Structure 1
């Protein structure tokens, strides 16, 4: 049949991909230079540092005067204190014995931000939660299991330039005869206390290789990631996984490796329906995985309402319905829709990284409050998995 439309060839697709990659490249070059990479510019005054450390300003000053803590840097122009970096705050926590992590005989919690649907805020939640926990003083590892590599980009790496699939991602670990320790892929980020295992498009090849191997060696496929995480678990307090938004072999491996699940769910009809289907698929999938590799229990499974817009009556109605349907599973905190998150993400940043005048607006304060509320609730769930925290939680009235 004749048509006035010209056919779209493979060459056209290549040109389209090249133009798109050029735009992303310019964005990344604008946000963080390829030579210098991203840096963390956060500084905390002594009052904020004291709150973070859990000691008084007076004790901090005395420790500095006694030489237990280094004298803070001063601004050469004003002669005033420049403020403390996060690394310096964590050093204070170590000196005063207020670092919040697990006891040595306890295991790091592996938490997956799990959804089989894109666009629900999975990577956004992963990055902000990792940074919230790092601000609190926890040692965090982020494992980007998604070949789209959004989390990798936010943490300052260009997946197409800075990440080699054969050396830097999970891909070589998933291959037969690959490394036996995930330490090869760990990268320290510009955030103190956050390490990253990055991703890039090459990670997608692992899906095909895993699928081909599943029939003849299901135990290797299902438990490979869990076994790899065990080789690095003792270096961290919390390990966050950002899996692909699809029910593939990597997602199945993530389900087997996780100790707990956090499911982001926007309160609209389509996404709520997707959440219902996701939970049904999870039930049957976990049953199949149990038959193939043994049952797997979770410390907790929580649903978090994301992208909530309270001005929309439909959002409010679905949120109320979710509260009724999931009375124990739904988190009390809600991650509301915010232009602050969108604007930060457009610059490959997070709300926690913003400094200067951008942090003084009411929009920023509200958004920060939403994020902090989510972080506090997740932090409490994590602490409840560590018996060494029980006495403190009882004193705080949280247990």
Structure 2
């Protein structure tokens, strides 16, 4: 077998395996479905005592059989959240579920140079956390590997082509046919009722090429590549509160145009010297780019916040603990004080392309809960940054 045939064989076999895996995971409807939530889980998500929740379920859903009251669907959680009284309880945070009219949707970009930093894992978990808290979320996959796309039950090889991904927008804009593009149709419904997805696959290379050509030939402001993602988001329906973006782990045009639109930037990295060195190079690139951009065009990247997220963290590893402490000491509030803990549960859940929010353990529930507590703590901190950015933006408009 020559090299060409060998490469094609590898592609065909692995694509077929991915297709079969997705069909098995999504059976019988050929799409993933979201599990229901126990009353104890639901009470935690809504921030109310379990006894109060049981009484509320009986009152709100009187026609449910007693056996059906022990678990709640995502939609039922949303219904209950709407009728909960606002108080100073922990549930108040979760019930702040919509941006206010004067607030633009928050755009949170997860990015780094280093592969294996849990960038996709972190971004997908954040999107699902925000959905569970009551926000309306758009997830935009800008990584041609399509890992997040597959996580949401879509096949990157067959459901994220030129007309089904961000590449459709760049092509339409380059050809002057934006008016004929149904931009909203690029936002695919997922099995999470309040999360839509702009999928990604190998076809995104066309968008990368289009942006590179625009960067090389831009002569008028309206053709400049860096505004591409902003323009795309501006053309979308206004139904979203949060836009979560997963980017490719290297220097690329898609990442750059997403950063120009970012309300917040989250940089996941492991607490190893290799990973932190790579993260250092990422920030060196950002600093150099921002300086050059400001010199050429004036103000450039201006996110409301940038955070370094330590992932795959083992608190029993002295070297990781030392590096985490060093990062916090040197970079202060830029480092999220809560790391995303290492857990074998992530691997177990990942076998079925499930997140911690989707996985329901049959054994070792304590380990699963530790992992959930960890990612919840991380996501609450990022949510807090989002709320602060909204508040600051609203105050600026009033003044």
Does 1:17 pair with 2:8? Answer: no
> Any conservation in 2 of the 1:260–1:299 contact (CA below 8 Å)?
yes
Q: Which of residues 134, 149, 158 is equivalent to 2:131?
A: 134
Does 1:118 pair with 2:115? Answer: yes
Partner of 1:264: 268
Residue 213 of structure 1 and its aligned partner are, at CA, apart by 2.2
Deviates more, 1:146-155 or 1:28-37: 28-37
1:352 is paired with a residue whose SS is coil
Residue 247 of structure 1 and its aligned partner are, at CA, apart by 0.9
Q: Name the CA shift for 1:242/1:96 in 2 (closer, same or farther; >3 Å).
A: same
1:353 is paired with a residue whose SS is coil
Residue 22 of structure 1 and its aligned partner are, at CA, apart by 2.6
Q: Name the CA shift for 1:236/1:80 in 2 (closer, same or farther; >3 Å).
A: closer
What do the CA deviations read for 1:265-309 (whole angstroms, capped 9, x no partner)? 111111010011111001111223334554231110110111112
Partner of 2:287: 283
Residue 389 of structure 1 and its aligned partner are, at CA, apart by 12
What do the CA deviations read for 1:151-196 (whole angstroms, capped 9, x no partner)? 0100111112333322x21001012124356322111211121111
d(CA) in 1 for partners of 2:72, 2:157? 34
Q: Name the CA shift for 1:43/1:388 in 2 (closer, same or farther; >3 Å).
A: farther
d(CA) in 2 for partners of 1:343, 1:230? 39
> Any conservation in 2 of the 1:107–1:233 contact (CA below 8 Å)?
no
d(CA) in 1 for partners of 2:309, 2:234? 27
Q: Name the CA shift for 1:293/1:145 in 2 (closer, same or farther; >3 Å).
A: farther
Partner of 2:178: 179
> Any conservation in 1 of the 2:126–2:379 contact (CA below 8 Å)?
yes
Partner of 2:92: none
d(CA) in 1 for partners of 2:315, 2:54? 42
Residue 242 of structure 1 and its aligned partner are, at CA, apart by 0.5
Count of equivalent residues = 376
Deviates more, 1:36-45 or 1:139-148: 36-45
Deviates more, 1:307-316 or 1:333-342: 307-316
- For residues 272-311 of structure 1, the aligned pairs below 5 Å read 272-295=276-299, 296-311=301-316
Partner of 1:246: 250
Residue 249 of structure 1 and its aligned partner are, at CA, apart by 1.0
d(CA) in 1 for partners of 2:308, 2:52? 42
- Give the gaps of 5 or more residues in structure 1: 1-6, 392-399
Partner of 1:217: 218
* Length-normalised TM-score, structure 2: 0.86
Partner of 1:337: 342
Does 1:87 pair with 2:86? Answer: no
Q: Name the CA shift for 1:158/1:262 in 2 (closer, same or farther; >3 Å).
A: same
d(CA) in 1 for partners of 2:193, 2:185? 19
Residue 30 of structure 1 and its aligned partner are, at CA, apart by 2.7
> Any conservation in 2 of the 1:103–1:388 contact (CA below 8 Å)?
no
Q: Name the CA shift for 1:292/1:353 in 2 (closer, same or farther; >3 Å).
A: farther
d(CA) in 2 for partners of 1:384, 1:183? 28
Partner of 2:90: none
Deviates more, 1:146-155 or 1:290-299: 290-299
d(CA) in 2 for partners of 1:60, 1:340? 29
d(CA) in 2 for partners of 1:316, 1:390? 38
1:144 is paired with a residue whose SS is strand
1:14 is paired with a residue whose SS is helix
Residue 312 of structure 1 and its aligned partner are, at CA, apart by 2.4
2:362 is paired with a residue whose SS is helix
Residue 42 of structure 1 and its aligned partner are, at CA, apart by 2.2
Partner of 2:147: 150
Q: CA RMSD in A?
A: 2.6
Does 1:36 pair with 2:30? Answer: yes
d(CA) in 2 for partners of 1:72, 1:379? 36
> Any conservation in 2 of the 1:139–1:194 contact (CA below 8 Å)?
yes
* Length-normalised TM-score, structure 1: 0.86
> Any conservation in 1 of the 2:141–2:197 contact (CA below 8 Å)?
yes
- Give the gaps of 5 or more residues in structure 2: 87-94
